[in-house]
Amino acid sequence: MATAAITAERENYLNQEYGIKSWLLTVDHKRIALLYLLTITFFFFIGGFFALLIRLELLTPAGDLVQADTYNKLFTMHGQVMIFFFLIPSIPAVLGNFLVPLMIGAKDLAFPRINLLSWYLLVAGGILMLHCMLTGGVDTGWTFYTPFSTAFSNTKVIEAGLAIFISGFSSILTGLNFVVTIHRMRAPGMTWNRLPLFIWAHYATSIIQLLGTPVIAVTLVLVVLERALHLGIFDPMRGGDPLLFQHLFWFYSHPAVYIMILPSMGVVTEIVPCFSRKRIFGYKFVALSSISIAVFGFLVWAHHMFVAGISLYAALIFSALSYLVAVPSAVKVFNWTATMYKGSITFSTPMLYAFGFIGLFLMGGLTGLFLAALGIDVHVTDTYFVVAHFHYIMVGGAVMGYLAGMHFWWPKISGRMYPESLGRLAAVIVFLGFNLTFFPQFILGYLGMPRRYWQYPPEFQVLNVLSTAGSTILAVGYLLPMVYFLWSMRYGKVAPDNPWGASGLEWMTTSPPPTFNFDRAPVVDWEAYDYENIPAPQEARSGG
């Protein structure tokens, strides 16, 4: 049994019980986190596969790899899979599920069975989505705009809508579990101001999941009803307003991008102090900035609709609010930088990813401000400028944060160290591949290349070729961790309790932790990030 080889003699959550039933019926938050890891990695491959096909098609100006209708399906399903079945669950469902109880000193989340249900809901939605893709797919764009999606598309809109509806409940229940857990199950002495900022970030994320997801849920219900019964709620031919769909859709989907980025920011906020050997600068500001992002994020949704036909006055309001929402994000960037200042920096793999995050998120965020300006947006909306903007944040930001976190906590999760030099190499490959893929897209968009187009004028080819070349490099960068993480489970050095000398309760239990997390319930009487008092990292035990 592979798992027997992973761990030392101690009993932990991995070797406590064997067999598929002990995994599929587990209520242990750590095992559920691993179930999620498998699921989202699977969907990452699928979404990535669609991305590669898109980039292949765009190597040449002519539409010659796939047909136009097929191309519409490719970018639609790339977006849907990546957003709903990879990014939204990713950090909260894997790292959040694993770490939230550990970080607050609890034995599990508040509702372990609901946690398992959350996973099954994601799987159910995922299976439905897979079936949809295999039997024809969807071509509406991940945004499902009406009346095309409700009245004209010939593809499986209802099935895709239902798949996302089901997976939405996975997200809602995860958020519910986190909020209750963080409020009610903190260990004695773990006050709000001693919580790791990873927890604050997940708390803020959970608020968005709770309050935003139901709106897209009901919107998808209305879309399904409209399509099935020809109602007219979103159909201008029947008195409906397509913009009503867009308002309801974006009311969730804009805050959804904060669901995708906040947890990543939480990860970076754990990594930067650790590898600077310094406490975080401005703890309260960082905590407050997470909550602010969650709240302000709900105020800006119509900036996706500037050219759709909303009133100019509404556009002005939403433009101004969109500038506001950048402020708390900037606060975080300042605070990370200030933390590193005069710190003792180690360029470990997690820290490399964190650096990548900060730089790329900065670029993505600043270009968001360009888009928030009405005058500029009219020019670049629906072009590759927008595509580049959100990929800088989602991939350069969120995915790098996810990888940073996976590397940082891998010893805790698996009890093994990954190979550090390979880790650093992969991080550099990801960074280079990412920039080569997406920076040309800023230029393409500014020059006028529309998004979701399957053909383009020949003068855009060089930039597209660069972008596709970048995407293959990026793919290699992503494959490497998958390979060496698996390798490490059998051959990696056995990890000590705290290989990084990091602060946080999760590092005060074994790697991997026992099923109930702590041998003795912790009582906290120290502040978070007290790096002055934490000894330097232990060397990982060689062997295994």
Give the one residue of 219, 292, 322, 329 binding another protein; rule: CB under 8 A: 219
C-alpha to C-alpha distance for 420 and 51, rounded to whole angstroms? 29
- The pattern of x and - marking residues 495 through 514 that bind another protein according to CB under 8 A reads -------------x------
Answer yes or no whether residue 493 interacts with another protein by CB under 8 A.
Answer: no
CB of 89 or CB of 105, closer to another protein: 105
The residue count for binding another protein (CB under 8 A) is 63
Give the one residue of 127, 523, 527, 530 binding another protein; rule: CB under 8 A: 523
3-state secondary structure of 19: coil
SS (H, E, C) 375-396: HHHHHHCCEHHHHHHHHHHHHH
Q: Which of these segments, 148-156, 211-219, 354-362, 383-391, binds another protein (CB under 8 A)?
A: 211-219
Answer yes or no whether residue 535 interacts with another protein by CB under 8 A.
Answer: no
DSSP H stretches of helix in 7-111: 20-24, 29-57, 68-80, 90-91, 97-104
* Distance of closest approach, residue 212 Cβ to another protein, in angstroms: 7
CA nearest to 99, candidates 52, 151, 33, 55: 33
CA nearest to 386, candidates 442, 319, 435: 442
Answer yes or no whether residue 320 interacts with another protein by CB under 8 A.
Answer: no
Answer yes or no whether residue 425 interacts with another protein by CB under 8 A.
Answer: no
CB of 74 or CB of 187, closer to another protein: 187
CA nearest to 119, candidates 26, 178, 35: 35
Answer yes or no whether residue 532 interacts with another protein by CB under 8 A.
Answer: no
Give the one residue of 38, 218, 320, 378 binding another protein; rule: CB under 8 A: 218
3-state secondary structure of 25: coil
Answer yes or no whether residue 14 interacts with another protein by CB under 8 A.
Answer: no
Answer yes or no whether residue 233 interacts with another protein by CB under 8 A.
Answer: yes
AA identity, residue 251:
F
CA nearest to 528, candidates 253, 283, 245: 283
Q: Which of these segments, 228-236, 391-399, 408-416, 492-500, binds another protein (CB under 8 A)?
A: 228-236
Radius of gyration, alpha carbons of the chain:
23
C-alpha to C-alpha distance for 43 and 375, rounded to whole angstroms? 37
AA identity, residue 479:
L
C-alpha to C-alpha distance for 268 and 405, rounded to whole angstroms? 8
By the 10 Å C-beta count (0-12 exposed, 13-18 middle, 19+ buried), 229 is classed as exposed
CB of 218 or CB of 462, closer to another protein: 218
Q: Which of these segments, 142-150, 256-264, 314-322, 323-331, binds another protein (CB under 8 A)?
A: 314-322
Phi, psi (degrees; rounded to nearest 5) at 450: -70, 155
Q: Which of these segments, 3-11, 38-46, 307-315, 343-351, binds another protein (CB under 8 A)?
A: 307-315
Spatial neighbors of 55 by CB under 8 A, at least 6 apart, are 437, 467, 468, 471
Answer yes or no whether residue 317 interacts with another protein by CB under 8 A.
Answer: yes
CB of 169 or CB of 478, closer to another protein: 169
Answer yes or no whether residue 225 interacts with another protein by CB under 8 A.
Answer: yes
Q: Which of these segments, 56-64, 92-100, 225-233, 323-331, binds another protein (CB under 8 A)?
A: 225-233
CB of 37 or CB of 505, closer to another protein: 505
- The pattern of x and - marking residues 107 through 126 that bind another protein according to CB under 8 A reads xxxxxx--------------
* Distance of closest approach, residue 221 Cβ to another protein, in angstroms: 8
CB of 487 or CB of 531, closer to another protein: 531
* Distance of closest approach, residue 211 Cβ to another protein, in angstroms: 5
CB of 195 or CB of 427, closer to another protein: 195
Answer yes or no whether residue 307 interacts with another protein by CB under 8 A.
Answer: no
* Distance of closest approach, residue 243 Cβ to another protein, in angstroms: 7
Give the one residue of 25, 314, 366, 483 binding another protein; rule: CB under 8 A: 314
Answer yes or no whether residue 134 interacts with another protein by CB under 8 A.
Answer: no
Geometric angle at alpha carbon 162, from 159 and 167, rounded to 5°: 125
- The pattern of x and - marking residues 149 through 188 that bind another protein according to CB under 8 A reads -----------------------x---x--xxx-xxx--x
Structural tokens at position 231:
């109602």
C-alpha to C-alpha distance for 338 and 306, rounded to whole angstroms? 36
Give the one residue of 10, 238, 490, 541 binding another protein; rule: CB under 8 A: 238
Phi, psi (degrees; rounded to nearest 5) at 416: -130, 155
CA nearest to 95, candidates 476, 407, 424, 530: 407
C-alpha to C-alpha distance for 266 and 329, rounded to whole angstroms? 12
Answer yes or no whether residue 537 interacts with another protein by CB under 8 A.
Answer: no
Answer yes or no whether residue 377 interacts with another protein by CB under 8 A.
Answer: no
CB of 212 or CB of 401, closer to another protein: 212
Structural tokens at position 135:
């039997």
> Do residues 363 and 319 make contact, with C-beta atoms less than 8 angstroms apart?
no
> Do residues 537 and 499 make contact, with C-beta atoms less than 8 angstroms apart?
yes
C-alpha to C-alpha distance for 487 and 334, rounded to whole angstroms? 37
Answer yes or no whether residue 232 interacts with another protein by CB under 8 A.
Answer: yes
> Do residues 490 and 538 make contact, with C-beta atoms less than 8 angstroms apart?
no
Q: Contact residues for another protein (CB under 8 A)?
A: 106-112, 172, 176, 179-181, 183-185, 188, 207, 210-215, 217-219, 221-222, 225-226, 229-233, 238-241, 243-244, 247-248, 251, 298-299, 301-302, 310-314, 317-318, 508, 516, 520-523, 525-526
